[in-house]
């Protein structure tokens, strides 16, 4: 038997905070060595942090990474343990995303990434060059100060593996695993038994299974030990890296780290038998045949042994059942951990949330409550960093600690119900009850006086006073009156966030939390610069359907029972007067259901459908209940309002990324924001298809809408709420 103990880790790194990152790296190595591991794998670009973005273009970033690596190698950290460190490296004139493999205070080789992530949230080709030379390793001249410090002039650079005396080890970096012909296939045929995948993979609802199945598939038919390391936490942007570092052997998961955690460092250790890898490969005839005429991959010889022989005192890691969170748990824990990282690193003293008593703001309140529960739990488990952060943010006296989540929430979480004459007593009561369950410092304020003052000013200026539609006003008046209320709430929220800490003799400021969901963003069913305009938004990329399921779950599992009533209530903005024969409802205002919006969103983004392709797809999906003409009207209605309101996405509050059909304009969904909302060519094609399907020479009526371009602060009927 060849017994090998390996360690991989989740690290909560912070882009451009080199002291923080090196501290976590050293802690992970120490923990791996204490466990007896001889291989330690860290996440992609762990020294700089993955999310540095255009900072990668600065020479300082690369130079600081080398300085940090030198600091690690001059110490005892790599004595007796193979460590893979992620950092940017400049060779000649090109910048590469690299894994630097080190052992016994020396660099053994540098492995540049060959296939870069360049879709969705990823822009690696903007900062890095893909390594293209596969048939040989080249010499890399180390920077002078590194060379002098390590007594090394040059090291092998390129695609290859390390041949130890008793096994072969290779790196495969993140995206490379998911390519049509991944490197591990060729490396396995060359005798590599241990694969190290350093990754920077973000959380997305229901995505984890795709990732884990890739690790399992990589070794199921080829054999091997597959190590995976990932970042975990918010490193300074919209993404939450969701950890789940793991070890897979011959298709079986034998070690798995947490997906969501407040810990800065989590090390996952596995004890494996490499003879099991050799045995599996020897039993597969096709593997043997392909290995006999393989393409030779270059290697670096390392005259060290990593394995131990048979020893009954050593227990091997056994296959585990994969641990998955349900979507409701993902919504609770992912945004909750992201909020904690943002709070403790921003210098803020807490959060302020406009709490309307509706589903969206109540979801945000529940997520903050979940965050507080996680903090108290980690303190009870002995996490010193969480304790130090919580004591600092909560302004506890010396010797005091957070022991109750509601008490902690009252110190760091303000909620405010900003009611008007259009608000119902039901929503006011729901907001107050939920605030009490979570523990927030709750305020109830009326904005009617401010609204009246503004309308009086408008009347003085123009001689006219707008009326609601139910009172005989026009659509323009109706929308304007709703927008006034919404924007007043934004201004009031930011004023309270900046001044309430002062009122209560606390230092700092509060972060304003937004609460618009992904479907409202897609449709544009929000007022530009209203309460959706905040500092950050933990639910901005989560669908209404998922949020309602989360509320049902949280009512029981987070023990906020009032959420059940909130979920059951019909969604309403409460911006129009309530009458005996009229009550404002979101889905009526939008002209579509939230369920339909999710369908439109997925077809538009995930399946890359324009109006015509969406019409064709929905004819199949909805054909049993809707005629082609009805499907056409729905598709046109969606694209009309989507395009009219696309400009709102340019100022969307930075939101936690959780959904693959997010319309977020700054990083993920890059499109124009000035459209011809009549879509004359595309809608004409839909009309032609409807005529063919119906056999009707008349066709269907095109919507007459004009250009539909909306300037900031104005809009068409039912747009901009």
| Residues marked as catalytic | 44, 113, 174, 356
Burial classification of residue 607, based on how many CB atoms lie within 10 Å of its CB (0-12 exposed, 13-18 middle, 19 or more buried): exposed
Q: Distance between CA atoms of 441 and 560, rounded to whole angstroms? A: 16
Helix (H) or strand (E) holding 554: helix 544-557
Contact of 638 with 629, CB cutoff 8 Å: no
Contact of 52 with 16, CB cutoff 8 Å: yes
Q: Which residues, at least 6 apart from 58, have a Cβ–Cβ distance to it below 8 Å?
A: none
Residue 662 phi/psi, 5-degree rounding, is -60, 135
Q: Distance between CA atoms of 614 and 509, rounded to whole angstroms? A: 46
Which of 709, 479, 678 is CA-nearest to residue 576?
479
3-state helix, strand, coil in the chain (%, to 5): 45, 15, 40
Using alpha carbons only, give the angle 667, 513, 584 rounded to the nearest 5 degrees.
100
**How far, rounded to the nearest angstrom, does the alpha carbon of residue 432 sit from its chain's CA centroid?**
30
Q: Distance between CA atoms of 406 and 365, rounded to whole angstroms? A: 12
Q: Which residues pair with 266 in a beta bridge?
A: 10
Q: Which residues, at least 6 apart from 30, have a Cβ–Cβ distance to it below 8 Å?
A: 77
Q: Distance between CA atoms of 681 and 588, rounded to whole angstroms? A: 28
Q: What SS3 state is found at 702?
A: coil
Sort strands 413-419 and 350-354 into parallel, antiparallel or unpaired: parallel
């Amino acid at each position: 038997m060849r017994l090998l103990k390996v360690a991989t880790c989740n690290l909560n790194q912070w882009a451009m905070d080199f002291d923080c990152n090196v501290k976590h790296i050293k802690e992970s190595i120490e923990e791996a060595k204490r466990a007896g591991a001889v291989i330690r794998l860290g996440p992609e670009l762990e020294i700089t942090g993955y999310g540095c973005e255009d900072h990668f273009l600065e020479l300082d970033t690369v130079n600081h990474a080398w300085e940090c690596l030198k600091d690690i190698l001059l110490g005892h950290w790599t004595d007796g343990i193979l460590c893979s460190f992620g950092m940017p490296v400049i060779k000649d004139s090109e910048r590469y995303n690299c894994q630097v493999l080190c052992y016994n205070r020396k660099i053994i080789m540098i492995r540049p990434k060959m296939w870069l992530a360049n879709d969705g949230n990823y822009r690696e080709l903007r900062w890095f060059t893909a390594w293209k030379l596969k048939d040989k390793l080249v010499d890399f001249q180390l920077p002078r100060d590194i060379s002098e410090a390590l007594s090394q002039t040059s090291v092998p650079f390129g695609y290859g593996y390390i041949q130890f005396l008793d096994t072969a080890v290779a790196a495969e970096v993140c995206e490379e695993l998911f390519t049509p012909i991944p490197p591990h296939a060729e490396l396995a045929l060359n005798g590599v038994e241990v694969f190290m995948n350093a990754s920077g993979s973000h959380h997305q609802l229901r995505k984890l299974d795709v990732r884990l199945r890739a690790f399992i598939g990589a070794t199921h038919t080829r054999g091997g030990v597959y190590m995976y390391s990932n970042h975990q936490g918010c490193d300074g942007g919209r993404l939450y890296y969701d950890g789940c570092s793991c070890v897979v052997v011959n298709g079986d998961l034998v070690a798995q780290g947490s997906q969501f955690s407040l810990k800065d460092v989590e090390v996952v250790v596995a004890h494996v038998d490499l003879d099991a890898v050799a045995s599996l490969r020897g039993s597969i005839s096709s593997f043997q045949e392909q290995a006999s005429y393989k393409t030779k991959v270059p290697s670096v010889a390392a005259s060290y042994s990593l394995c131990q022989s048979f020893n009954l005192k050593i227990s091997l890691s056994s296959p585990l059942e994969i641990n998955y969170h349900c979507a409701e748990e993902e919504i609770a824990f992912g945004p909750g951990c992201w909020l904690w990282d943002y709070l403790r690193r921003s210098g803020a003293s807490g959060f302020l949330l406009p709490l309307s008593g509706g589903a969206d703001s109540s979801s945000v309140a529940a997520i903050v409550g979940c965050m507080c529960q996680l903090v108290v739990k980690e303190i009870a488990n002995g996490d010193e960093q969480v304790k130090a952060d919580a004591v600092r943010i909560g302004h506890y006296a010396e010797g005091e600690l957070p022991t109750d989540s509601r008490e902690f929430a009252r110190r760091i979480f303000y909620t405010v119900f900003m009611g008007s004459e259009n608000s119902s007593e039901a929503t006011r009561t729901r907001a107050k009850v939920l605030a009490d369950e979570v523990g927030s410092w709750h305020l109830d304020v009326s904005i009617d006086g401010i609204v009246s003052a503004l309308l009086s000013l408008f009347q003085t200026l123009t001689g006219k006073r707008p009326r609601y539609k139910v009172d005989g006003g026009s659509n323009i008046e109706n929308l304007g009156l709703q927008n006034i209320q919404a924007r007043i709430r934004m201004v009031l929220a930011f004023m309270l966030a900046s001044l309430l800490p002062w009122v209560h003799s606390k230092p700092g400021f509060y972060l304003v939390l937004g609460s618009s969901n992904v479907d409202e963003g897609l449709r544009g069913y929000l007022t530009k610069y209203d309460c959706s305009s905040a500092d950050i938004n933990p639910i901005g990329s989560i669908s209404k359907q998922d949020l309602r399921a989360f509320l049902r779950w949280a009512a029981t599992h987070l023990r906020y029972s009032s959420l059940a009533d909130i979920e059951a209530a019909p969604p309403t903005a409460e911006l129009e007067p309530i009458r005996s024969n009229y009550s404002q409802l979101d889905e009526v205002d939008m002209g579509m259901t939230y369920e339909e919006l999710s369908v439109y969103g997925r077809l538009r983004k995930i399946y890359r459908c324009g109006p015509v392709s969406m019409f064709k797809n929905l004819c199949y999906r909805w054909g049993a209940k809707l005629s082609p003409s009805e499907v056409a009207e729905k598709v046109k209605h969606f694209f009309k309002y989507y395009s009219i309101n696309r400009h709102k996405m340019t100022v969307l509050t930075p939101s936690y990324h959780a959904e693959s059909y997010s319309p977020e304009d700054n990083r993920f969904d890059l499109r124009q924001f000035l459209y011809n909302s009549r879509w004359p060519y595309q809608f004409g094609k839909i009309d032609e298809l409807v005529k063919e399907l119906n056999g009707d020479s008349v066709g269907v009526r095109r919507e007459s809408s004009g250009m539909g371009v909306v300037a900031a602060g104005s809009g068409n009927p039912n747009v901009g709420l």
